[in-house]
Structures are given as C-alpha cells and as structure tokens.
Structure 1
Amino acid sequence: MKNWGTSTNKQRELIKLLDEWAVFIRRKYGNKPLSSSTYLSEAEPFLEQYAKRSPANQALIGAAGNLVQTENFLAILDAKRDEEGDLRTDHGAAPSGPVSTSVDVVPKTEGLIVFFPGIPGCAKSALCKEILNTPGGLGDDRPFHSLMGDLIKGRYWQKVADERRKKPARITLADKNAPNEEVWKQIEDMCGSTKAAAVPVVPDSEGTDSNPFSLEALAVFMFRVLQRVNHPGNLDKASPNAGYVLLMFYHLYDGKSRREFENELYERFGSLVKMPLLKPDRAPLPDAVKAILDEGISLFKMHRSRHGRAEPSKGSYAKEWAQWEQRLRATLFGNADHLNSIQVPFDYAVKAVLEQLKAVAKGDLKTPDTGKRKFGNIMFAAVRLTPPDILGLLRKVAEKDTAVDSFVNKIRLEDNLTKVHVTLAHKRGHGVSAVASYGIYQHQEVPVSFNALYYTDKMAALEAQLGAVNDEPINSRNEWPHATLWTAPGVTPKEANMLPQLASEGKAERVPIDPPITISGVVDFY
C-alpha cells in the first residue's frame, strides 16, 4: 500500500478490512490452500456484509452503494498469487507454443470455439477443411461444426451463437476473420452463454511496431488471394479491388504491435495457437514488393482520411487505385518464385495447428470462472471523460487561438472524438496490482483540470492534472498524465506521450490553458 501511495488513514481502514477477511476465511476453511474460484465465491458476500455495517465501511467498499467488484478486491488482496493463471504479473511475450491452463482445457461435455483473428489469404478455410477431415478429430468424441463466413447471410456471429445453442458441446470452427475487440467480446459472451471455451488461431508473423502482421505476411496473403478462382466471397483474382480489401483488413489491426496483439488474445482466452506461415531462413522481401505495399498503405491512408469507408472506385483517388491494383498484381506475380519459396508447406502448418489444438482440447478441467475472465480482460484503469465536455473545452481554447481553431476543424475532431480518458495505470506497463489499486475508487467522480493543449500534424492531447476522491488524491502512474484526443492513421495513441518532449524541441505546439479548465470524470476499468 505504501508503494501505491495510499494515505495513512486509508491504510488503517484497509488493514482492518483485510484482518477481518483473514479471520472470516480461516474460520470457515482453516489454513488449507484455496483455489481462486473459492476466493471469488466467498469475497462478494463478505464485502457486502462488511459494507452494511457502517457508513465508513460503505465508503471504503464503494461509493453510493456500489460495491467494489470482487475481482478488484482479490487483485488488491493477493495480486501476486497465481494459482490458476488468472492473475499474471509476468508481462513478457505470450508463449510461443500451446500452454495448458485451467482456461485452455475444457471438459468433453462442454464446447470449444476455434476462431481466426487473421486476414483474407491466411488459409483459415483450407485449414478448417483439413481439421474437419482429420481422423479422430482433436482426440475426443465431440462433433465438429464449421460455419464459413462467406456462405452465411446476415449477422455471422449471431448465427454462430444460434447454432451453438442447439448443440453446445460440439467444437465450432468459426471460419471467418475475427479482427477486432468487438468481435472478440461477442465470442467471449458466446462462451458464457453456450458453456464453451474459445481458442484463437493466428498466422505466425513478426509484425511491426504498430501492426501484428509484417509486410511479408501481407504480401503472401495478397499473393494467395490473387490466385483464387471462384471464391464464395468474390475475393479472388477477378476482384478489381482485392488489394484494397486486404489493406482494409490489415489496418483493422493497426495500433497493436505483435506482442500486444498476442498478449491481449492470451489474456482474454487463456490460450493461443500459432499457424506457421514463413520459413525462418527465408530471403528478405524484394524491394519492388516492399515498395508496392508501402505505396498501397500510403494511398489507403489518404483515401481513408478523405473518404472514410467509401469504395475506392467512388473517391477522388479512383484512378490511382485502379493503377495501383494493376501494378500490385504485376509485382507480386513477377516475384512469385520468392513468395512461394518463403512459405512453409501447408501440410506442415496444418500438422502444427492440429497438435496445438489437441493440447488445448484435452483434459477435464472446468472452463474459467466468469469473474476471473472479467478481470483478465481488464487492461487499464482510467478516468473516463465525456466527449461533449472535451469538445466544449476545446471550443473555448479555439476562440482565443485561431491556429487551434484551424487545427480542430482540419482533423474534424467533432466527428471523430468518441472516447476520451486519462490513463491511471496499465496492466502491461505498471502491473496488475497497480491497476487493481484503483478498485476502491471505481465509478466515483474525480475532477480533472486541463492546463495545456499539445498538438502536431500527427496527434493531439490535453495535459491533465487529477483531483481527489473523498480527500484522497488520485495520481496517474503515467509520467505525463494526459488525454489523447486524436492520432493520424498509423500513429498509435501511446506515441502521444512524446508530445512534451517534441514541444521542447520545437516539433509540437503547446497552447497554455489559463486559467485551467476543470471537467468531472469517472474512475473506471477497461
């Protein structure tokens, strides 16, 4: 608690709470080691009864009658205990091979959802066919069921959920790209509603600083797509904008490094299966291939900035897109020998995936407790702010500074600002216990004063100073507390941390807000 900066009074209150918890749990179970599921089932009623005993206890446990979430209490209680893999304090890269934990093995009476956070051309449909035709399946008696996204009309994931409810014990192969958190959340909900675990299968790739897939992987995916004929989803050699579609999928992953991508999937679902893609001893990507991909990425960013999600043929870059698509085909097929030579054999990839899936599927341990799953999904604590309040603040600043007014209008901030927060602590950067330490303040209001606006042609942020909750100062673990407002395509939000340094070097604008403007925010978890 001293490391967290907890005040002396608050330390006394928490010590009293933890002492009573120790007496309660030992009286009931003695000194024997307990599983996390037992702690979860016992903590909530204990906290509820403790809160009812006095106003002071109520204030400690939660404001206005809102109890602190059980998982946050447990993290504060013993953040370093990791009996079942639910609270990991090791923030290295995700395991390179399959890891069997209580999360990634399920009873044979329960289901399994195999899904694919990938890009068209990653061979998921071909892989699904091989899995379906594998004698003995994954080593148990559960039947397989595959749903190909290109053949499903309407809402695909709703269809998967409907089919799973009919036979929840079977293994579902979700043959559709699952590229973002919104889809992952639907899969998590499906796991809870149909009593299943889920395992992501991802193409193995080094990635870049801002994308989990490398340009080599993207080139291979494009090359494969452009060799297709009569594809059910009409994404094949006959598609005039196949390259654009691949770039669109590629950018759905933008903003995450490979490490961040794998860690998030592993933390959400408890396991990660990697499908081999490229040979380790391959020759480097030819300059011509790299150049055509870089050109396409630049064109995509310009198109997206000006036209949003409009089809490439309908924007002001229609001619450039048509020319680029033709050059892309010529370049990739002109380097066909190289692109074929750097890929691992498909049967090798299938064998590797099957071995990993069998390791995930075997065993008789139960699926994860929803409380553990919920906390496993929490990545950071933050003060949540409302976009209208922030936009109102910026309008006041813009009234006094024409350059700010021009900048805000240029980036169309009123159209693009949908979420704003000031990060307090991030699980990867500061650890589980640091994030959990804000649990006692969850859903409570805190004043946030903004005293400067920083911006460049690539990003913008407001410098923040946090206030207090019940006279307890709320401090951010970030060296520079701020609210990121906007980043240009290809720029990750974390790069906004560099704005003060850039301003000191004359590479960013700093506009003082004097007097500072204070807005009320709410402490929450994400």
Structure 2
Amino acid sequence: KRTRMIEIVSQGLATIEVTQKHSGSLFMYAGHRGGAYAKNSFGNIFTAVGVFVLGRLFREAWGGKAPKMQAEFNDFLEKNRICISMELVTAVLGDHGQRPKDDYAVVTAVTELGHGKPQFYSTPEVISFCRKWRLPTNHVWLFSTRKSATSFFAAYDALCEEGTATPVCKALDEIADISVPGSKDHVMVQGEILEGLVARIVSRESSVQMEEVLRNFPIPSLDGGDSDLGPSLRDICAANRSDEKQQIKSLLENVGSSMCPDHRDWFGYSGLEAQSRNADKSVVTHFLQAHPTDYATKKLQEMIGLMKRKNFSASFKSYWNYQKVDSLSNDNLCYKMVIHVYSDSVFRRYQQEMRKNQELWPLYRGFFVDVNLFKANNKKAAELSKDSNTLLRNINGALDSSLSSKDGLADEDSNLMVKLKFLTYKIRTFLIRNGLSTLFKDGPSAYRTYYLRQMKIWGTSASKQKELTKMLDEWAVYIRRKYQNKQLPSSTYLSEAEPFLEQYAKRSPANQALIGAAGDLVQTENFLAILDAQRDEEGDLQPERGTAPSSPTSTSLDVVSKTEGLIVFFPGIPGCAKSALCEQILNTPGGLGDNRPLHSLMGDRTKGRYWQKVADERKKKPFRITLADKNAPNEEVWRQIEDMCGMTKAAAVPVIPDSEGTDSNPFSLEALAVFMFRVLQRVNHPGNLDKASPNAGYILLMFYNLYDGKVCTFNEKLFQLLLEYTKLSMFINKLISVPKRI
C-alpha cells in the first residue's frame, strides 16, 4: 500500500493525509433526538459519558452562550441529518495505552445523509464545520509531493520503535507540506504515549482547500476557559459509586437540559426499563418486505437483504425508539436498528460485493438506522410510490454525474489507507494487557510464545526483541508473584503496569527509550465508571466466556466439551503449510492448552487408506486431539470425518489459509501461486511432490479444481467458538464452512 500511495502522489493524482490516532473509543452523535451511540451500542454509560464530554466542550468553547449553542447544534444536526464521529478519550472507561491527563474528545468524521448516499465531509470541510461550532479537531498533516510522501514513511520507520508524541509531531511538522495542529495538544491532554498515525489517500485538491479553510476559519476563542464549568466527569463518577444507572443519571442531569432534554434512550419510557426495549426479531423481516418510501430505505433494504442472503456474520437488533413514542400506534411503529458486524472479514467480503454491484451502499463500523414501519391507504401508497420513484431517478442522475469526477483514481486507490502504530503503545496494550490471560492461565512459557509471535508479526528489530524479552520476562515474574492465581483486570492493568515500567525505565537510558514515557500515572480507582454488565472498551456487551456472539448463521455445535475429542483437518491444497502448522502445534509447550494428548498422522508418511487409519486410531483413544495432516478436498472425505465425529464424540476444526477466494473457488489465484512457490522450494519431500517432480504444477491445479464451485460462507460463529475452545487462534486464520453436518 505504501508504494502505491507514493506512486499516486508522484503522478499528481492525490495527496497523502496523516492524522493522529488518539487512544480512546468511538462515540457518535446525531443530535438529541438522532441519538448518541458507541461502536455497536447505545443507552449505556459509554454514551452517557460521551454526551457529558461533548456538552462540557461546548461550555469550554462558548461560556455563558453554551446552552443556546447546544440547543442550536442539536437542531442543526437533526434538520440536516448529520452525524459526527469522535474519538472519546477518558480515564473513567477503562485502560488503553495510557491514562489521559484530561477527559476530552476530537471530531474525526462528519457524515451527512441528506436524501441520497451518505456523504463524508472532507477533512477541510470537517475543520470548517468544527471551527464554526468550536469543536476540537485532530492534528492533520498533508504530503502532496513524492519527496514529502517518501520522507513521511521514512520518518515513521525511523520512529516506529521508540517514537512518542513530541518527537513524532516535530518530525512530521518539518517534512509535511501543510501541518494543521489539533485543537487538543496530545501531550497536554493524553500524554506522550501516541497510539499511532492514520495515513490515507485524499483528493489532490486537499492542500488548496485546506489553505482556503485556514484563511476563512481562524482558530476560535474559548469563551468559557476561565469560568466555572461545574463538576468534572471524574468528580461525578467519584460521587456516584452505587451503580451504573446512578452514574448515568447524574451525568445526564449535570450536562443540562439544553444538551439532553430527556433521558429516554437510557431509562426507557413510562416504566419500561432499558432491558424491555428490545423489539421482536421479526422487525428485520417486516423491514425487508415493506415498500420503501425514500431512497435511503431502498438502499438499506438492498444492503441488509444481501447480508442476510450471504449469511454474513452480523446481527440486526431492533429496539423501540422511545424518542418517537408519542407517535406510536398499531399502524405506525418506530424502531432503532443496530447493525453489528462481528468480524473484519465481513467488510472485505462486502467490498467484493460492491465491486460487482457499484450501486450498493457501503457498510460501516458503527451502523444505526431509524426504522419507521407504517400502513398507508391505497391512495397514499400510490403517491408515496410515485414520489420515491421520481426521487430515485433524480438521485441516480446526480450520483452518476458525481462519479465521473473522481480525480482519475480507481476505487481501490481512492480508498487506500494504512494504520501505523508505535511500539511504545503496543508494549502496553498488545504485549502486556492482551497477554494477561495467557500469562495467568497458561504460564510464563506460553506468554513468551505469545509475545515473541506478536513481535515477529510486527517485524520488530532483533535488538528490540532482545530488550523486550528481558523486560517482559521480568514483568511476568513480578505480576504473577504479586497476584498469585488471581488475574490482573485488563480494565485497570495500568495501575500495576505503569509503576513497573517507570521503575524499569529509570535503570538506564536504553530502558527509558524502550518504555517511551512513564511516571504520570492517573489514579482511577475512585472514579472508574461502574458497569452493570461486562463490556469491552467500546461499550459492546462482552459474551460470556466460552460462547460466541450470536450470528444469523446457525450451527448445531453450540457447546464443545473438553472431555470430548477433536479432529483438526485441512480442506487445503499442497503447499498450504498444513505440515508446518501441525509440527508447530506439536512443538508448542502445553499443546493446545489442556490435558488431552495430541496425535498427528502425516498423509505422506502413512501407507494404505489414510482416513481409515485415522478412524482406527481415534477408536483407540477417542478423547485425544487428532491432527489430520492430509488435504481433505471433497465432500466424501468430509462425510468420513463426520462419521468419525459421531462415533468418537468429537468436534471437527477445518483450517484453511487466509484467502478471499474468487467467484467460483474459495482459494484466490494469489493463494494458488503461493502454494506452487512453496512446493517448488521443497527438497526430498516424503510425498515426492517437490522441485524434482515433473508435474508438480499440474497436480496443484488438479487439487485447485476440486474446490471449483464450492464457494462457501465462512461460518464466523463456529470459528469464534472453536478458537475459544481449542486455543488455535495463534495458528488459524479462517475456517471454511464445510457441510453443516460437521
């Protein structure tokens, strides 16, 4: 991606835009009646905190005029069908990479639905919008020449392992063609630990547009900077420690009625509590069958219908819309629909569908829809149909004309984006926080395997790997000795990690460079938000351990017991690395993390009927884990595995390499090329399929054609369940959806 981005800039077709990645959670706001949302949820402590922080930003900016401006802002968003997205950074919602010194938010996107396709504002438009309303913006750098674009990536490569906010911002300021400082100084409000940078391709006109915006919209003053803003977020959370509802109530009352006139999204209506707001599951079916009265409804029906037909791993939950409860009747029903995508692979697969049908609307992370189902008499229905058809023709014409002027960029080029994270942040989050479960449940050896693999994936330099190994091994001994068998909570892990890192950094300049910055720990114990249900850092409800999120794809394998057996098999192609994977599993200390014995049968070294031998071995010890190291390319083999599962009470895990596939084959041609390359690198292969084989390419094509026409939906629910059960997540990339009997 980097090379392509530099090429596009060099040709004068585009500009690279770079922004800071603040370490917080997604918060979206569409006005008081439009709603406040976290990533895939609403009406909880996360959205209450977001509304409070946004309201306080208005007080800082407008002083005594804040109530008036808050009401105008709500009205403006709702009338123009606008939603703002923000990075919400607080110390009350759990730990990320560094506890912020202050609670704040920065606007990262503005979206306008209007009467056609959702339109995202360009960054110059976001800045002008925010300066008009005195909302905080992010730090932005623009690189519009080959020299500056190349220098940017070179600067990141030089700083990626030791970079913190101050040196990174200084370096980018010096090489960028345009630098627009953020309203909130990262060092002042969050600290030196910088999560990362986001680089994306934008219009070649962005530099000119940005300069014009900076001339026409100077940095606004903060009229409330010296005035009493009332109790802070931390004060309110500290004073209300009884339960989550009490904290929400106090936050919404303190933000004021101009910002939040009523609290229905959080507390329901007329005695209906939050848990009773779930609507019937048939809402989605009725929505798909209803006659659309506007363009947006028609496009949403297309999107949801496609996702349902393709069994994409997503849920479509509907809730009563209490904001419109006064207009409810049997013939007029209002809902909020939450489209929750469970896996990033869904976005990749949906993009494939968009390439086939360019009229599809895009799918977003954080997707909420107001649905109004109503009955109309024949006359009214005819009028609505006529109006919607006229609107559709007008919109299609407008969209066709707008698509013809995309700066000469192909779709894949216009959407190029890379996220570049810094090692000082990843030490805290990926290596320490995310490794806690492995460290406490599986021990130091498994933890070392975990963090070494992470560093290998990142391409961490050998010298840093050596330094980090020493530090993380010491951390493992320290924290296990202190907590014994009780795992350190990930939501407050920095209470222990930060003092440890501070002391470690003091020992030498090299240690200080490794850690980045330490010593400014914010104590959160007295004001951390209370969660009545376990949620992740974005506000989503966490599934119970051992279960997976619900999915439209059904499976009969709801619970897998570790007292039963397991068959790991490979619907693959020669060269897909199945033998290397099996060998790695066998050599991993502790195996798959439980007490069941491991047994592997390599097809190339097994004489006779391979699958019959597997069945015979499983009958001897039905509770062990069998690694079936042989390609399983057809339904005949799958049925044999099904029979083995039934006879020996075992589950089956199908494993395939990560591949997007083609229209007719689950493996892409790129994957086939990789497999061929691997086979042609082999020497003395036990199955005689190596560089000395005269027909190696033909054999691989034969295997490839065995899968022709077997494009299946990846069963994400089964995938998540089996990963939780088998702890194969360090090895498995994806699962192919074999016949549901397995």
TM-score of the superposed pair, with normalisation by structure 1: 0.34
- Structure of larger gyration radius: 2
